[in-house]
Amino acid sequence: MITLYNLIPNLLGFFLGLIIGSFLNVCIHRIPKEESIISPGSHCPKCKNRIKWYDNIPILSYILLGGKCRYCKEQISPIYPAIELLTGILTALLFSQFGISFDAIYFSILTWFLIAISFIDIKELQVPVKPCYFTMVFGIIFSLFTKSNTFMDSILGASLGAGIILFIIETYYIIKGKEGMGYGDANILAAIGAFLGWKKIFFVIMIASLTGAIIGIIILIREKKHSETPLPFGPFLSIGGYLTIFVGNFLLKFYLGG
């Protein structure tokens, strides 16, 4: 029976995710431009007016303002509330799975990174190094306090994650004479490996490759694009990383025959 008490972790995760999602919008907009994500505060990119706190409430402010800036009436992209809602939902699912615990925060940090880096990759077709590096470091350090990973598995996961992608990049280059993947993908998988451990890296790649192939074929058919059209792989690694949080242990047991 579902009660309000049972829903507390979900609600806490959802509202925390909404708040973080608002901050991720700032990161997605500023990091590629190498601007500070702290200062100045949130402002309209057109009229530069500072956004008041009551106009910066996730999703709600967007609805009340009709999706426009209060001052210049410039249309605000719906991608902003979409990212907030996505972050809220994905965080709520983690809190539902792990309860109010350190593990829920641990994997939420990874999820928030994956959301931000995915949208940056989609928008810019590049993966900034610093967010990947700091997330990887956080994953290794915080592995000392989580029940879901060990310090050694975290280090091996980061190393193996980067190593596999680098091997693929160099092998593809030798065979084809050009890059097939970006080095940023190695950074993303290193960060994922730091949180999930080395044993689950292969499941991340498997899920990412499968979803990437399916979506890539759909895009080619619908938009009639050439097969050489670049398609960011970061979002698919992110999908693989997030889903592996939930199914990694099951797949591991199944693979090992347990």
Joined tokens for residue 41: 């505060």
132-157 burial, b for 16+ CB within 10 Å, e for fewer?
beebbebbbebbeebebbeeebbbbb
- What is the number of other CB atoms lying within 10 angstroms of the CB of residue 231? 15
CA–CA separation, 24 and 80 (whole Å): 9
- Of 40-49, 79-88, 181-190, 247-256, the range with the lowest mean pLDDT is 40-49
- Dihedral sign for Cα 114, 116, 121, 127, please: negative
Reported residue count of the chain is: 258
Higher pLDDT, 84 or 218: 84
- Dihedral sign for Cα 78, 81, 195, 35, please: positive
Q: How confident is the model at residue 50 (pLDDT cuts 50, 70, 90)?
A: confident
Q: Rounded mean pLDDT of 83-107?
A: 97
Q: Rounded mean pLDDT of 1-12?
A: 79
- Evaluate whether 73 touches 46 at the Cβ level (below 8 Å): no
Q: How confident is the model at residue 53 (pLDDT cuts 50, 70, 90)?
A: confident
% pLDDT > 70, the chain:
95
Joined tokens for residue 195: 């949180």
Q: Rounded mean pLDDT of 234-256?
A: 92
- Sorted by where each begins, the domain ranges of the chain are 1-100, 102-258
Q: Rounded mean pLDDT of 190-216?
A: 95
**Residue 15 pLDDT:** 97
Joined tokens for residue 219: 């895009």
Confidence (pTM): 0.92
Look at residues 235, 187, 193, 188 and name the one whose alpha carbon lies nearest to residue 214.
235
pLDDT digits (tens, 9 = 90+) for 153-178: 999 999 999 999 999 888 888 887 77
**Residue 4 pLDDT:** 63
Look at residues 203, 194, 187, 191 and name the one whose alpha carbon lies nearest to residue 253.
203
Q: Which amino acid is at 51?
A: I
CA–CA separation, 202 and 100 (whole Å): 28
- Evaluate whether 190 touches 158 at the Cβ level (below 8 Å): yes
Statement: residue 7 has pLDDT above 90:
no
The position carrying tokens 């809220």 is 88
- Of 19-23, 120-124, 176-180, the range with the lowest mean pLDDT is 176-180
